[in-house]
Amino acid sequence: MERMRALLVGAGGMGQAWARNLLECDEVTLAGWVDLRKDVAAEAAAALGLSDTFIGATLGEALRACRPDFVVDVSIPEAHHDVTLEALAAGLPVLGEKPMADSMARARAMVAASERSGKLYMVSQSRRYNTGLHTLRRLIADKTGPLGILNSDFYIGAHFGGFRDEMDSPLILDMAIHTFDAARFLSDADPVSVYCEQFNPGWSWYRGDACSTAIFEMTGGLRYTYRGSWCGEGRHTSWESEWRAVGPNGTATWDGTGTPEAELVVAQDGFFSTVAPYRPEVEVERPGGIAGSLRDFLHALDTGATPMGECHDNIKSLAMVFAAIESAAGGRRVPVTL
């Protein structure tokens, strides 16, 4: 079977991770690599032993030179809009890194461009491919019943240095979309409105607000509560957050690393209902992270199936981010609008 030709845009740290991901996939050839800093792309390609890969500074020249089958966009968020529109206009499907865009207006334009071109635009929401997350989702669907309460906690003291230290809303803009997207995935519900507060404790090493608490109203009456911090020193949660999901038949919890657990109602015969512990069978292991995103994207191109992260769905998770920031800025509950 002939390999598909990929054109990679972006040669930073994440771009180099994507290069390795593409090279490890036996269905793909890395045909071209683009970065405004052409020398950076050339150095990264040389470090990976790439001698036949086209290296360029602009997307246009790379499209003409290497005739790719699809584009992988790992540019900075501010560039996602232009890269995606140019690739879709050239008739190429796009697999892009999160977040989809740096504004809702640009995200809407990207979704519209996908519709005009008839080509797939998918955002790599890579944490959706975690086996534990899928196990928890099945536990909720099969055992707890429709959720009325969903809570997540994310506390990590991340000393990144660099651009995150200077962002206005480093937690919400840079990381919370993963957790917001997971909440939508777990609950099979969409956001309606949000009240959010952002703040920065005195010891924070971030210029912008690195902590947040948000309450989302979701479809079906669900309330989803997010609590998080980029400067929570000690007793870190996992990167997948810690979760509590409450439905009519019981409660499921997951620490983000092990196997989800639940206590399920077996009798309602006293002050407290009688509950019994339950541990689900773990979902079959699947490629995780960006390898999972790539496999999902390729499967969609091959079969026409709708992948996770398809732009019409992913924009709902992005809308949660910008609505939370709007709410925090205005000190009021706001609708989550697409």
SS3 at position 149 = strand
Q: Residue 282: what residue type? A: V
Beta sheet of 54-56, edge-to-edge order: 54-56, 28-34, 4-9, 70-73, 94-97, 121-124
Q: Residue 16: what residue type? A: Q
Q: How many CA atoms lie within 13 A of 19 on its CB side?
A: 28
Locate 179 and state its tokens.
């957790």
The per-residue pLDDT for 283 is 77
The per-residue pLDDT for 30 is 96
Q: Contact 187/224 with Cβ under 8 angstroms?
A: yes
What mean pLDDT comes out for the span 12-26? Answer: 95
- What single DSSP character describes residue 271? S
Say whether pLDDT at 97 is over 70.
Answer: yes
Q: How many CA atoms lie within 13 A of 104 on its CB side?
A: 14
Strands 149-155 and 121-124: unpaired
Q: Contact 16/97 with Cβ under 8 angstroms?
A: no
- Distance in angstroms (rounded) separating the CA atoms of residues 296 and 32: 21
Say whether pLDDT at 285 is over 80.
Answer: no
What domains, with CATH codes, occur in the chain?
4-119 (3.40.50.720), 129-285+319-335 (3.30.360.10)
pLDDT (tens digit per residue) in 120-133: 999 999 999 999 99
- Distance in angstroms (rounded) separating the CA atoms of residues 237 and 19: 29
Measured distance between the N- and C-terminal CA atoms of the chain, rounded to whole angstroms: 40
Confidence of residue 173 (pLDDT cuts 50, 70, 90): confident
Say whether pLDDT at 52 is over 80.
Answer: yes
Q: Contact 109/86 with Cβ under 8 angstroms?
A: no
Confidence of residue 1 (pLDDT cuts 50, 70, 90): low
Residue 144 to residues 131, 197, 281: CA-CA distances in angstroms? 19, 30, 15
pLDDT > 90 fraction of the chain, expressed in percent and rounded: 93
